[in-house]
Structure 1
Amino acid sequence: MDGISINLAQQADPKGAPSTLRIYGNDTYQTKFRRSRPIDAPRARYTGFKNETITLRSGTIRREGALALTCDIVFERDVAVTLRDGTTIYADIFRPTGDEKVPAIVAWSPYGKQVGGMSLDDVPHRVGVPLSATSGLEKFQGPDPAYWVAQGYAILHPDTRGAYASEGNVTFWGRQLAEDGYDFIEWAAQQSWSSGKLALSGNSWLAVSQWYIAAERPPHLAAIAPWEGLADPFRDMVNRGGIPNLASTEAVIATCMAGNTFVEDMPQMAIDHPTINEYWEDKVARLDRITVPAYVVSSYSNPVHTRGTLAGFRSIRSKDKWLRIHNTFESPDYYNPENVRDFRKFLDYYLKGDKNDWQAIPRVRLSILDPGHEDTVNRPVEEWPVPGYPVEKFYLHADQTLSNEPTTTSSNLSYETETENSRITFTHAFEKKSEVVGYINLHLWVEAIGSDDMDLLVLAEKRDKDGNVLPNAAGEASSTTGLLRVSHRALDPDLSTELEPRLTHKKEELLSPGQIVRVEIGLWPTALRFHPGEQLVLTVQAAPKAPTKLDLGFGVAKIPVPARGGTFKPGEKVEIIELGGGIDSQPEFVNAQRVETPASRNKGTHVFHLGGEYESVLLVPLAEVS
């Protein structure tokens, strides 16, 4: 592979793993690492290492059926970048021809800068993004060079620390990633082709990284555009509500990343440190340090990104910030031509100084989900959370209804946790057309029989008048969820609000036999419209244990690329290689390193006390609409 060699036996050897990580306030924090999946594993889909500069010609393609280039593109491959600690990472650069200095957009992730371990082809129907909509030169969930170079931008694809041929070890978010991003941006700003103005863009990991890098305040970072990305891995992903959920993180490490060295073992750190400590504090994005212009995009349906994206928008101190909440999935929204043009107007304003009408765009645009009818998209509002939605109280009654009227009679409902029917539902049918917009909070009085803890999942969803689930535009149930391990029930009184309880996660408070405690379970934000007769259904259930053997199937699709690299003319006979591997082609040690999700705290009986002194109530931001 042109200077990059791999020894699989050495890769599987656990010896030599680093033991410390730079976090804020500690340069040598004790941290677990594991061996990365090797870059010559079939599902890593590595195109090889080759330092070269070529011109990709207008009209050529990366693969048959993909979007053709509309201009010549200078493609600099495997460009070395030295970080402050001497580590070398490698980047691909796509930029316009000629001598004009141009702004640049950075796509920051460890998923590979050409093809890599993740591709839309791995997902059924490419999640609604047609092959013809992108060129195939784009990084997974990043900006497409075929479009952006034609608009006068450079696109930068770094393989971040430890990814593929880059030196060092892959780290999850926090100080090390933030400082690396700072160094890369400042390096790029000094290149001969650079105008000195850079932006960050992309979905998921590419979005998450932006909160951390922007908080370091690199002088040449002119704007960010986080398109759905968490801001607190402990609360948003691996330990939401205090319940360990390592499935998605394990799947990302095993099936989405590859490198020559090691990767930070965040799942093991979640096992070793199940409450908030300095390691997890390092992973909380320092949002209040961000002041650059921001174009923030969210949805209500992402099980990892929704809360953090909206928290990011609310908490950053940027004077110029915009929020758009869509009604589909992140990838089709990101590549939707109308949204790309909208985003381009933002970048043209802040990176090129164009005097367009961007400042007239509403600061907040949201969607109202209305499954069974028609969603409202891009409704302009004053701010988020949206003002004007009074808090409605729905009391939980023993007849499993939600009522605006409390009851003075005490009662209880229960289920056995180890049965298929370990849940209770409560229903409210609307008499008038109404909207629920914002954050929801459930106050419950709970008791465990046969256990000293409870793992609870709460679901609020819209159903039709007959109680049938109504899928939204993304094809999913129109719902929002909340999670809580009852021993993590302690609230931060300074940060908690009526609709948003903030858990401290500093310690566990186990239950005693017969003890009844009040808990608050915050549900992630949503926006749902209800028509007369339609139902709001609240489900309280034993949270299921998420297995860590999840394989998302990334790296399996066979992606054709020209063997010589670059692009080719449509119909031209060139040697094509296919990158990708079978579902079982993972090196054995990769899956052997996965950690098991800790045992559920659920056993025995969950009892929920209602009425009288045990006022269990659902707080909902709700308004009647015409």
Structure 2
Amino acid sequence: MQIPPIKHALGLCALCAALLMAGCNTQPPMEGPPPADRSFQAFWSKRVTGYITAADGTELRYSVLLPKGAGKFPVLIRYSGYDSGSIGGSAYLADNETFSVAMDKDLVERGYAVMGVQARGTGCSQGTFDFLGPQYGTDGRSAVEFAAQQSWSNGSVGMFGWSWAGMSQLMTATERPKGLKAIAPGMILGDPRSDSWAPGGVPNQEFTTTWHWFVDMRWDAVKASAETEKDKRCLAQVEANKAKVVSSSLMYNLIRHPLRDEWTKQREPRNRANEVQVPVLSMQSWQDEAVLAREGYYQERLDPKLLWMVQSSGGHNLYESEHFRKEKLYPFLDHFVKGEQNGFESTKRLEIWQETVADVREGRHQPNETANPGWTIERDHYPLAVKPVSFALSEDGELIEGGQGSGKPDAYLYPIPGPDVNTYLKDNAWGWQHPLWKQGSLAYTSAPFERDFLSYGTASADIWLSTFLAPDTDVQVTITEVRPDDKEVFVQRGWLRMSNRKLDESKSTELRPWLVDEPDAIQPMLPNVPALGRVEIPPFSHPFRKGSKLRIWIDAPSRTGGYGFAYYSLQSRNSVYHDAQHPSRLVLGELTGVTAPQALPACDTLLKQPCRHNPLSAFSRPL
């Protein structure tokens, strides 16, 4: 059904005026990470620093912290472009460090030589910055083989860490360096464009800008340590790298490469994951504010006989969790790198943390260090088979399990962004909500579940949508739980630029749309003509208990974690269809055979799953 053009035009005029009156989503600038609330004394017997010569002659800075005692030691490498090549310096001891000094301390005290390696073109390393470029893996190979041959090394090398230090592991392992025994990557970009740079084709320019600001801060920490040590070579290299990084930065390159092309494809660590030949311990956070939980699905390309995996609700730095470190990470490294016969090889291959909480919610490290699962699911293989369950969008905002939608299209004004969630300014919380949210969003809510429903894995929001005179539009779909106590809990969120909607049918499934995402696949929207856009919802696991409701929101992209979108700006009145000819639906994967604890967790206790009063309640409070 088409809505008369005059009504569309009047709606757009109202939108123009309303947007002018409401103003922009103005928020104060970020002030950096929380200040350090701890410091350290040297916990190593000796620190060794120097430079590794890469295959092309580029020299990469490294720093090694040796444990107490005589002899040779197994080596663990953390390799990134932040400040890894300066571990042990004055900034590091003041906890002015990207990763976890406490974790390094644990590992040194367990008898490992902990080695930090600085990526080319960063910190005090020579070369040109090229994030995830082809040389990142070959440089990692040079670092591993160098470490294996040193006088303080017993030749057994592992890698650990998350984020940039996780991506480096996957890229290094595909080069199969001599001496590498195991890797433990967490929270990585496996397919950077779809994971971060433009999920669903919607440009995420805010993250790359703030990320480079953060990188610059980390090089300031490198500089601080070098000043203490009067290391003139390092100081000169840091200044040189700062001066030239702009021309090779992600900000610069993503403007030059707005669509998936050969440059983008060269920077997809997942593409060679099948070449990894060492054991892998992967950690993944569902509500990861920096890389999403998608990770390019690289784990599915690994040899399942080599894979152990931990998945959890929570955020990007959950790798710091003492529960994870003591129960999984340290035993994994002790077995495969140190050679201890501790039985790790017989442990369950997949551990899913449900409803993860933290004993301490304040501080820079404590919310992650004290994080632990409310309850867990263990399985002996990955991936898991789930049952697809369809929920049809219908009139009156209904979401009907196993049913069919009906009624006339629902319209909303575009672009009015949805509510912020888990931003760096207001973490673990619902954030700013546009004053015109009622006109700029649609919500569809199920009846209360008559059983416990455990959703697991990816999901697909299949939305039939039309625009009014706009050749494109960006869609955000947010999944929430509406609890019996009338509280709404954030679960997960996905995005799609409608012109990017063409699917690779050979890879798409009912639960996971796979976009072609190539320039030749672009399909503009036609005025008032509905088109099917399948919105990929990144992986998650969440129990909807008996009595709770499932809800989806449809609106324009908004800040989510560190992601801030340059959404398509042409104003429109979008319509969502849900009749027999246009069956819009949400498809979730149900993991059966699982019994969830009966009691609901207290509101706002779940990491990265904030709770708010139900805004559609008859007794709703102002947002």
- Which string of whole-angstrom CA distances, capped at 9 and with x for unpartnered residues, describes residues 495-545 of structure 1? 211111111111221112232211211101111112222121101111248
Quick one: distance in 2 between partners of 1:358 and 1:157?
Answer: 26
Residues 602, 463 of structure 1: CA spacing in aligned structure 2 closer, same or farther, 3 A cutoff?
A: farther
Query: Which amino acid in 2 is paired with 1:536?
Result: L
Question: Partner residue of 2:526?
Answer: 512
**TM-score, L = length of structure 1:** 0.73
Quick one: distance in 1 between partners of 2:473 and 2:395?
Answer: 21
- The offset of 1:255, in angstroms, is 2.6
Q: How does 1:222-241 map to 2 (within 5 A)?
A: 222-241=181-200
**Aligned residues of 1:237 and 1:245 also touching (Cα < 8 A):** yes
- The offset of 1:410, in angstroms, is 4.7
Range moving further from structure 2, 336-345 or 500-509? 336-345
Matched, 1:461 2:420: no
**Structure having greater relative contact order (Cα 8 Å, sep ≥ 6):** 1
Quick one: distance in 1 between partners of 2:48 and 2:516?
Answer: 47
- The offset of 1:256, in angstroms, is 2.0
Question: Partner residue of 2:131?
Answer: 172
Matched, 1:312 2:330: no
- Aligned residue among 332, 336, 359 for 1:346: 332
Query: Which amino acid in 1 is paired with 2:259?
Result: T
Query: Which amino acid in 2 is paired with 1:425?
Result: A
Q: Which has the higher helix share?
A: 2
Q: How does 1:159-558 map to 2 (within 5 A)?
A: 159-257=118-216, 258=219, 259=238, 260-261=240-241, 262-263=244-245, 264-285=248-269, 286-309=272-295, 311-317=297-303, 319-336=305-322, 339-340=325-326, 342-369=328-355, 376-387=374-385, 389-407=386-404, 409-419=406-416, 420-421=436-437, 422-428=440-446, 429-470=448-489, 477=490, 479-507=491-519, 508-544=522-558
Question: Partner residue of 1:127?
Answer: none
- The offset of 1:120, in angstroms, is 12
Quick one: distance in 1 between partners of 2:504 and 2:278?
Answer: 29
SS of match in other structure, 1:395: strand
Percent same amino acid among aligned pairs? 23
Equivalenced residues, count: 496
SS of match in other structure, 1:91: strand
**Aligned residues of 1:445 and 1:609 also touching (Cα < 8 A):** yes
Q: How does 1:88-107 map to 2 (within 5 A)?
A: 88-107=59-78
**Aligned residues of 2:312 and 2:356 also touching (Cα < 8 A):** no
Quick one: distance in 2 between partners of 1:191 and 1:325?
Answer: 36
Question: Partner residue of 2:425?
Answer: none
SS of match in other structure, 1:339: helix
**Aligned residues of 1:298 and 1:310 also touching (Cα < 8 A):** no
Matched, 1:157 2:116: yes
**TM-score, L = length of structure 2:** 0.73
Quick one: distance in 1 between partners of 2:559 and 2:105?
Answer: 43
Q: How does 1:49-198 map to 2 (within 5 A)?
A: 66=39, 72-77=44-49, 79-113=50-84, 136=95, 140-141=99-100, 144-198=103-157
Quick one: distance in 2 between partners of 1:391 and 1:171?
Answer: 41
Quick one: distance in 2 between partners of 1:309 and 1:82?
Answer: 30
Matched, 1:612 2:580: yes
**Aligned residues of 1:414 and 1:607 also touching (Cα < 8 A):** yes
SS of match in other structure, 1:219: coil
Quick one: distance in 2 between partners of 1:176 and 1:623?
Answer: 41
Quick one: distance in 2 between partners of 1:120 and 1:359?
Answer: 38
- The offset of 1:99, in angstroms, is 4.5
Question: Partner residue of 2:232?
Answer: none
Quick one: distance in 2 between partners of 1:485 and 1:110?
Answer: 31
Quick one: distance in 2 between partners of 1:276 and 1:113?
Answer: 30
**Aligned residues of 2:91 and 2:97 also touching (Cα < 8 A):** no
- Give the root-mean-square deviation of aligned CA atoms: 3.1
Quick one: distance in 2 between partners of 1:549 and 1:321?
Answer: 29
**Aligned residues of 2:290 and 2:562 also touching (Cα < 8 A):** no
Quick one: distance in 2 between partners of 1:282 and 1:620?
Answer: 32
**Aligned residues of 1:462 and 1:469 also touching (Cα < 8 A):** yes
Residues 185, 144 of structure 1: CA spacing in aligned structure 2 closer, same or farther, 3 A cutoff?
A: same
- The offset of 1:494, in angstroms, is 1.8
- The offset of 1:271, in angstroms, is 2.3
Quick one: distance in 1 between partners of 2:63 and 2:195?
Answer: 31
Residues 532, 215 of structure 1: CA spacing in aligned structure 2 closer, same or farther, 3 A cutoff?
A: same
SS of match in other structure, 1:235: helix
- The offset of 1:360, in angstroms, is 2.0
* Runs of 5+ unmatched residues, structure 1: 1-41, 45-62, 122-133, 471-476, 551-596
Query: Which amino acid in 2 is paired with 1:489?
Result: R
**Aligned residues of 2:38 and 2:95 also touching (Cα < 8 A):** no
Query: Which amino acid in 2 is paired with 1:87?
Result: T
Query: Which amino acid in 2 is paired with 1:211?
Result: L
SS of match in other structure, 1:493: coil
- The offset of 1:335, in angstroms, is 4.4
Quick one: distance in 1 between partners of 2:298 and 2:91?
Answer: 26
- Which string of whole-angstrom CA distances, capped at 9 and with x for unpartnered residues, describes residues 232-291 of structure 1? 111101111001112111112123233322333223322222221111111111212112
Range moving further from structure 2, 442-451 or 258-267? 258-267
**Aligned residues of 2:285 and 2:318 also touching (Cα < 8 A):** no
Residues 94, 306 of structure 1: CA spacing in aligned structure 2 closer, same or farther, 3 A cutoff?
A: same
- The offset of 1:385, in angstroms, is 3.6
Quick one: distance in 1 between partners of 2:414 and 2:336?
Answer: 54
Quick one: distance in 2 between partners of 1:64 and 1:412?
Answer: 54
Range moving further from structure 2, 180-189 or 314-323? 314-323
- The offset of 1:168, in angstroms, is 1.2
Quick one: distance in 1 between partners of 2:380 and 2:104?
Answer: 34
Quick one: distance in 2 between partners of 1:120 and 1:245?
Answer: 31
Quick one: distance in 2 between partners of 1:66 and 1:304?
Answer: 26
Range moving further from structure 2, 361-370 or 186-195? 361-370
Query: Which amino acid in 2 is paired with 1:462?
Result: E
Quick one: distance in 1 between partners of 2:462 and 2:188?
Answer: 28
Quick one: distance in 1 between partners of 2:95 and 2:153?
Answer: 24
* Runs of 5+ unmatched residues, structure 2: 1-30, 220-237, 358-371, 417-435, 596-623
**Aligned residues of 1:461 and 1:537 also touching (Cα < 8 A):** yes
Quick one: distance in 2 between partners of 1:279 and 1:113?
Answer: 26
- The offset of 1:114, in angstroms, is 7.2
Residues 120, 405 of structure 1: CA spacing in aligned structure 2 closer, same or farther, 3 A cutoff?
A: farther
- The offset of 1:98, in angstroms, is 4.9
- Which string of whole-angstrom CA distances, capped at 9 and with x for unpartnered residues, describes residues 325-372 of structure 1? 13444435424156235312111111122111111210001022389x
Residues 358, 418 of structure 1: CA spacing in aligned structure 2 closer, same or farther, 3 A cutoff?
A: closer
Residues 615, 120 of structure 1: CA spacing in aligned structure 2 closer, same or farther, 3 A cutoff?
A: farther
Quick one: distance in 2 between partners of 1:364 and 1:619?
Answer: 24
Quick one: distance in 2 between partners of 1:511 and 1:187?
Answer: 54
**Aligned residues of 2:46 and 2:65 also touching (Cα < 8 A):** yes
- The offset of 1:68, in angstroms, is 5.4
**Aligned residues of 2:148 and 2:154 also touching (Cα < 8 A):** yes
